[in-house]
Structure 1
Amino acid sequence: MSITERDLYLQQWKQAQELAEQMLPMIGRLYRDRGLVLRIYGRPLNNVNTVDILKAHRFVKQYEGEALDIRDSFAVLEALTALRLAPARLDLGRLAVAYGRLEEPRPALTDWLREELADIVDREGPLLNEPQDVVLYGFGRIGRLLARLLIEKTGAGNKMRLRAVVVRPNSNDDDLDKRASLLRRDSVHGPFNGSIFTVPEENAIVANGNYIKVIYASDPAEIDYTEYGIKDALILDNTGKWRDEAGLSRHLEATGAGRVLLTAPGKGELKNIVFGVNHRDMTPEDRILSAASCTTNAITPVLKVLNERYGIEHGHVETVHAYTNDQNLTDNYHKGSRRGRSAPLNMVLTETGAAKAVAKALPELSGKLTGNAIRVPTPNVSLAVINLTLNDSVDEEGLREFLRDAALYSDVAEQIDYTASTEAVSTDLVGSRHAGVIDATSLIAGDRHCVVYVWYDNEMGYSCQVMRIAQEMAGLHFPRLPRS
């Protein structure tokens, strides 16, 4: 290889990097001014860096056999900035590939986009007259990730504003600083992307310009949110203290509270929503809802598409789950079986209701699934092993192709991701914003049986599902384009 040929690789990289750098402000403006959330084959483009953009172009190879040329996506992005568009979720990669496949003579790019995006061209979007006030009741692992997501999404197309966090009273003088520090630094998900400071005299945290009141209360019913200028608030209860309608109704006794979303499996007749699967069961009359569990969210979309295509006779789901903070660092008393043993030192066999909980979101699978769980010494990212007997025969190549297409084109494409890497391990999935990620190279299939492995970031992936429900509860419904 000559020196010139070697230099060519670096030259091409620099040219691509320059285009990616030019794309960043355009992507930002389209979100802030138009409410457009952009992706490339499911890979997010908002709040990323230039290398992330280039990696997203490379990811297209898993679907199309070759990486997406950034010059093609840049041309589409530039054309989008010239159009008057309503808020939506747009896959820039799919638009670029579809336009590139058109036979010559192709229509002008802007004219083609007007036709392809007719649903949102020169239209008003689903913006609220006023931002929806959101309150986080609890500020643990999920609560802080929800805070990050809400702060990150502040913009024209979101209209959801984190106004307050409610925590239990304590006597620590530095409580506010500690809360802010936990939001600023995270051992799993890394540092907060932006600036955080406290206003001690007002018990407030300011994150990227978002003023967040910290309210100390032992009982949700005792709070008057209107004292802080908060009205008709959507309460995201991430404590798990109350999981039935009777307990969660205490939130609605608070002045200024509007609706409640529980970030845990709901009990009794409470609707358990897995966004993408049964979110259309939500009604404006539902004042209290549950977002189910992280595992239920990971497996239900996959089970949905498999059942629609092949039919599920019966199956078993084994979850290999990261330890959680309800376990002990060292051996100590715990009311749950085996969970008292040291989480960082043991694999802990325990129960999970996730398999049975699938039936709440997908009633056609009622009584067809069993499940169990193994807690393992990792802090985040879990794995569901789905072992199924199907009604129709299946082979590995066909199943792999079907799941790949489901991750891109189906109505649960936001929930299902797909990796064909033979080297993927759990830490590679930290930060995944999908409910679950198909590990394509590990699946097993033959006759009427299959085993499908689904990775999931049980913190971030689940939090993103909670956010999707919250947006729906707030009345924000965004089309996903281009349509399948």
Structure 2
Amino acid sequence: MVQELAANNSEAVLESWIERETMAEAMIPLIGRLYRENNVILSVHGRSLINQSAVSLLKAHRFARHVDGVLLRPEETLPMLLALTALRLGPASINLATLNLKYAQEGVGQSREEFLRVELAEIVDRQGQDLRRGKDVVLYGFGRIGRLLARILIEHAGGGQGLRLRAIVVRNGGESDLTKRASLLRRDSVHGPFNGTITVDEERNIIQANGTAIQVIYSDDPSAIDYTAFNIHDALIVDNTGRWRDEEGLSQHLQSKGASRVLLTAPGKGALKNVVHGINHDTIKDEDKIITAASCTTNAITPVLKALNDKYGIVHGHVETVHSFTNDQNLTDNFHKGDRRGRSAALNMVLTETGAAKAVAKALPELAGKLSGNSIRVPTPNVSMAILNLTLENGTTKEEINTYLRDMSLNSGLRKQIDFIDSPEVVSSDFIGSRRAGIVDGLATISNDKHLVLYVWYDNEFGYSCQVVRVMEEMAGVHPRQFPAVEESPVLLPA
């Protein structure tokens, strides 16, 4: 009898899985159609649903319970997708999980289509009315960040009304250079294989990736390139090399024909505007020709620090980063102009400096002079951690601070920057591919009234690259509307 019940249960579990998998398979063409025909980007709390397998869609559904506390069921989202396809939507970024939850809470007595017509009124019947102009993008440099930016831009290509990756500029590495560049885009030891197909046109020096033709331009002079010769105009040049970090050096790009603006993927020097998306991206003006996207660490900690300062006030603090090694360190002991960085990155923890604590003040002036910082480079290839040791103006508890930051990650203008997790089993590699700037580890939080210690994980490569793309979209004016809408500034909980 027990064996019979077990067998029946096993069959029921399998039948349930097959049913959910069948529904997920039915979602794939609907998601693709909304993306190609309407420029609608669907996600589940930051996890893109574009070009995903049925199993990946079910994993995204499963993930939603960690955020909302309730299951996201395919039998609910499939009808939601069918209703969305009937509305002739204009371009938008839609969080399917949040939209579905809002319908469950507020759509009582309404059909899904009736609810969506009200909720998405600004984009209903706007198909083909995308007023955004596509922006040509050139990646100057094609290293770790450059290749990840390329992956994200290709993923977001849509119908071409957003950011259009047109070219990369690199030094000629000699024989087989083009093939090797394409191979590095195709295969990545940390982030895995490229999701799609890549071919090489050696005659025209073009890498073709999922329908995106990327012109490879060989040059060592940022001021002497004629981009218009490749039909590239009014281009946003994204400098990933780090060779020039001040206005004088970066302005060389603007001397090239066809270039109009520059974004540096590193902290800038002097009076250059350092932008952390979610914090001060609204300060970008049309007349700002050169912008910097700050550092990965600054992007990871500034949103969390703002949230804390807004509610509790920060008197002073220290930021210690445990950071994966980077290209500027040596694999084996050898001469390096920087202190300690000549020692083997693969064999040592290396104490070094970080400018992230001071750089926070460029995006968040109210914290000027309140933070110190240091960094320990460790033998991991990616994912880092920032430890925020803070003295607050107003006391709190671990439970209160975690509840507050979890809410910020879900229901505020910082929800694309701050993530929250409270699993007792996560380690650094679990955060590879995170699209958030920083992830608060709630179980590690230490609170003693006005003394707070927070642990913030961050994918210092991919999470940072997502922040860079958000800044690019702001500079180009092509950022899609977000639904359901949230406040642009954090929604503070009662003290």
Q: TM-score, normalization: structure 2?
A: 0.94
What is the rounded CA distance, in whole Å, between the counterparts of 2:382 and 2:222 in structure 1?
Answer: 30
Report deviation, 1:60.
2.6
Distance 1:375 1:158, change over 3 A: farther
| Alignment counterpart, residue 342 of structure 1, candidates 329, 344, 356 | 344
**Does structure 1 retain, via aligned residues, the 8 Å contact 2:45–2:95?**
yes
Distance 1:295 1:60, change over 3 A: same
Does residue 107 (structure 1) correspond to residue 72 (structure 2)? The answer is no
Report deviation, 1:103.
7.4
Report deviation, 1:126.
8.4
Distance 1:149 1:107, change over 3 A: same
Corresponding residue for 2:192? 190
What is the rounded CA distance, in whole Å, between the counterparts of 1:395 and 1:126 in structure 2?
Answer: 50
1:121-136 pair list within 5 angstroms: 121-123=124-126, 127=130, 130-136=133-139
Q: How many percent identity over aligned positions? A: 59
**Does structure 2 retain, via aligned residues, the 8 Å contact 1:42–1:417?**
no
| Alignment counterpart, residue 79 of structure 2, candidates 75, 82, 95 | 75
What is the rounded CA distance, in whole Å, between the counterparts of 2:300 and 2:146 in structure 1?
Answer: 19
Two-structure CA RMSD over aligned residues (Å):
1.6
Give the 3-state SS of the residue equivalent to 2:347 in structure 1. coil
| Alignment counterpart, residue 375 of structure 2, candidates 355, 373, 376 | 373
Give the 3-state SS of the residue equivalent to 2:203 in structure 1. helix
Bigger shift: 240-249 or 34-43? 34-43
Distance 1:124 1:288, change over 3 A: farther
1:287-326 pair list within 5 angstroms: 287-326=289-328
Letter in 1 for 2:146: G
Give the 3-state SS of the residue equivalent to 1:67 in structure 2. coil
| Alignment counterpart, residue 261 of structure 1, candidates 243, 250, 263 | 263
**Does structure 2 retain, via aligned residues, the 8 Å contact 1:126–1:477?**
no
What is the rounded CA distance, in whole Å, between the counterparts of 1:425 and 1:342 in structure 2?
Answer: 24
Corresponding residue for 1:404? 406
**Does structure 2 retain, via aligned residues, the 8 Å contact 1:327–1:340?**
yes
Q: TM-score, normalization: structure 1?
A: 0.96
Corresponding residue for 1:242? 244
Corresponding residue for 2:491? none
| Alignment counterpart, residue 151 of structure 2, candidates 141, 148, 151 | 148
Bigger shift: 267-276 or 202-211? 202-211
Structure 1 portions without partners, runs of 5+: none
**Does structure 1 retain, via aligned residues, the 8 Å contact 2:133–2:478?**
no
Q: 1:160-198, CA deviations, whole angstroms, 9 ceiling, x for partnerless residues?
A: 21111111234x221111111111111111111111121
Letter in 2 for 1:36: V
Q: 1:262-306, CA deviations, whole angstroms, 9 ceiling, x for partnerless residues?
A: 000010000000011100000011111000000000111111111
What is the rounded CA distance, in whole Å, between the counterparts of 1:129 and 1:447 in structure 2?
Answer: 49
Corresponding residue for 1:118? 121
Corresponding residue for 1:6? 10
What is the rounded CA distance, in whole Å, between the counterparts of 1:199 and 1:447 in structure 2?
Answer: 62
Report deviation, 1:241.
0.4
What is the rounded CA distance, in whole Å, between the counterparts of 2:215 and 2:401 in structure 1?
Answer: 49
| Alignment counterpart, residue 48 of structure 2, candidates 17, 21, 44 | 44
Report deviation, 1:215.
0.9
Corresponding residue for 2:273? 271
Does residue 161 (structure 1) correspond to residue 164 (structure 2)? The answer is yes
**Does structure 2 retain, via aligned residues, the 8 Å contact 1:42–1:408?**
no
What is the rounded CA distance, in whole Å, between the counterparts of 1:179 and 1:250 in structure 2?
Answer: 25
Q: 1:56-103, CA deviations, whole angstroms, 9 ceiling, x for partnerless residues?
A: 222232244332222112221211111122222211111111222347
Report deviation, 1:333.
0.6
Corresponding residue for 2:419? 417
Structure 2 portions without partners, runs of 5+: 487-495
What is the rounded CA distance, in whole Å, between the counterparts of 1:60 and 1:190 in structure 2?
Answer: 24
Distance 1:415 1:133, change over 3 A: same
What is the rounded CA distance, in whole Å, between the counterparts of 2:121 and 2:160 in structure 1?
Answer: 18
Corresponding residue for 1:97? 101
For these two proteins, the number of residue pairs brought into alignment is 482
| Alignment counterpart, residue 24 of structure 1, candidates 17, 23, 28 | 28
Give the 3-state SS of the residue equivalent to 1:60 in structure 2. helix
Corresponding residue for 1:467? 469
Distance 1:188 1:123, change over 3 A: same
Letter in 1 for 2:69: G
Q: 1:425-482, CA deviations, whole angstroms, 9 ceiling, x for partnerless residues?
A: 1111111111111112211123112211111111111111111111111111322221
**Does structure 2 retain, via aligned residues, the 8 Å contact 1:34–1:157?**
no
